Structure 1
Amino acid sequence: MTDPETLAVYAAKVDEYNALTSSGAARDPLLHAFLAALPKGAAVLDLGCGPGHSAAAMAQAGCEVTATDAVPEMVALAAEHDGVTARIATFNDIIETDAYHGIWANFCLLHAPRADMPRHLAALRRATKPQGILHIALKSGTGEKRDRLGRYYTYYTDAELTGLLAKAGFTVTDRATGREKGLDGAPADWIALRAHA
């Protein structure tokens, strides 16, 4: 993610976002399913990690965790968690090859322009080990817009996202949907897909 306005919102609201997400990881059934599908001691990337609560849960589960975010204030919080290696990086900075057993891209790639998504997914596929797992969650719908806070969003349907993953070399194995409030307080529909390399 490189949109300056979106990055500025997260930097300004880092404490509020940290509080909003602090208890979610521990009770997230999608995260538990993701971890259960990984080998013991798996190398995992938490892409767009935010304050690092999911990364911390992965580390507590015995994973070797790399957490990246484009907002320095978020990376600083993520780095405070035991067992988490956190660094500042945009989606464009993921250049590894066969590095991760699993990639957790939870509500982060929704901030990338639609035109960039194929390139980002291809980079994640290269970074994933053979038979590795990708979790991706986005707000569902169509089009692109900014929310009331000024954050840029791209919305996807299940069919569009499944097709993009297939073109990148992933096979979708599990899906979930839901609706909940985010940082802007507005309820939004979401879709989460788990795919194998």
Structure 2
Amino acid sequence: MSNARDHDRVRRSYDAVAEEYRRRIGGELADKPLDRALLAALVEQNEPGAPLADLGCGPGHVAAWLAERGVRPVGVDVSPEMVALARRAHPGAEFREGDLLDLPAEDGEFGAAVALYSVIHLHPAELRPAFAEMHRVLRPSALLLLAFHLGTEVRHLTEWWGHEVDVDFRFFEDDTVIEPLRAAGFAVEARMERTHYPQEAETRRGYVLARRLP
């Protein structure tokens, strides 16, 4: 299992690329029809009036998209620079600094949650405790949407868009994600995969939609 040093490497790496990340990724949903459809399904099934968590929110573009559709998003990210960017760019949403293993939220605070490519920085042994935290902050029967890169490799970057970084991107097979998800108290309702869009890194993408059990 990883330790605080590993999470600090992720934090410092995303701090370093935050502005460039926002510039390159901040408008990505315009070119991702499947992602928009899945997010729309999450919005439709979110408990009325309940906040919806965007876990690993980056510069806040997904939270902003959710806010435009009438929900109250709360973005959470490990990178202080990302959170600062998100707050400046999207004042209509709430953003908090926090780790997936220790979410800054009350028990049962959220009516749904999305975690797009945020678990990819966790060690496999950290998935179950991360999902247990998601279970804690979700209301009974709330939905969780996950997205991740499919495979078994680990890509380590020391340079990213001209910035010095030290970060691992972990690819997971479906069952590597689904087994700890079920063990943490979720029932899987849908799973799917797609190839990359032209503007994306050339990886296959996995999606899992799961419901928190009471």
TM-score (structure 1 length as normaliser): 0.88
Amino acid at match of 2:129: R
SS at 2:196 equivalent: strand
> Which runs of structure 1 show a deviation greater than 6 angstroms over 4 or more consecutive aligned residues?
none
Residue matched to 1:93? 102
Residue matched to 1:195? 210
Extract unaligned runs of 5+ from structure 1: none
**Residue deviations 1:148-168 (CA, integer Å, cap 9, x gap):** 644212221112212121111
Residue matched to 2:13? 9
Cα distance, 1:75–1:182 mapped onto 2, change above 3 Å:
farther
How far the C-alpha of 1:186 sits from its partner, in A, is 4.0
Residue matched to 1:64? 72
SS at 1:90 equivalent: coil
Residue matched to 2:38? 30
SS at 1:82 equivalent: coil
Amino acid at match of 2:188: V
SS at 1:176 equivalent: strand
SS at 1:78 equivalent: helix
Amino acid at match of 2:116: N
Amino acid at match of 1:146: H
Deviates more, 1:6-15 or 1:82-91: 6-15
**Residue deviations 1:118-144 (CA, integer Å, cap 9, x gap):** 111011111110110101111111154
Residue matched to 1:159? 175
Residue matched to 1:51? 59
Identical amino acids, percent of aligned pairs: 28
1:83 and 1:93 mapped to 2: Cα distance?
Answer: 25
**Residue deviations 1:15-53 (CA, integer Å, cap 9, x gap):** 221122222235522222221222333311111100000
Q: Please give the residue correspondences for 1:110-189 in structure 2 after superposition, counting only pairs within 5 Å.
A: 110-147=120-157, 149=159, 150-180=166-196, 186-189=201-204
Cα distance, 1:122–1:182 mapped onto 2, change above 3 Å:
farther
CA RMSD, 1 decimal: 2.3
1:34 and 1:24 mapped to 2: Cα distance?
Answer: 18
What is the aligned length? 196
**Residue deviations 1:87-124 (CA, integer Å, cap 9, x gap):** 11111321531111111111111101111111110111
2:118 and 2:64 mapped to 1: Cα distance?
Answer: 17
Amino acid at match of 2:122: A
Contact 1:43–1:100 (CA under 8 A) maintained in structure 2: yes
SS at 1:39 equivalent: coil
SS at 2:82 equivalent: helix
Deviates more, 1:129-138 or 1:156-165: 156-165
Matched, 1:21 2:35: no
SS at 2:101 equivalent: helix
Cα distance, 1:181–1:25 mapped onto 2, change above 3 Å:
closer
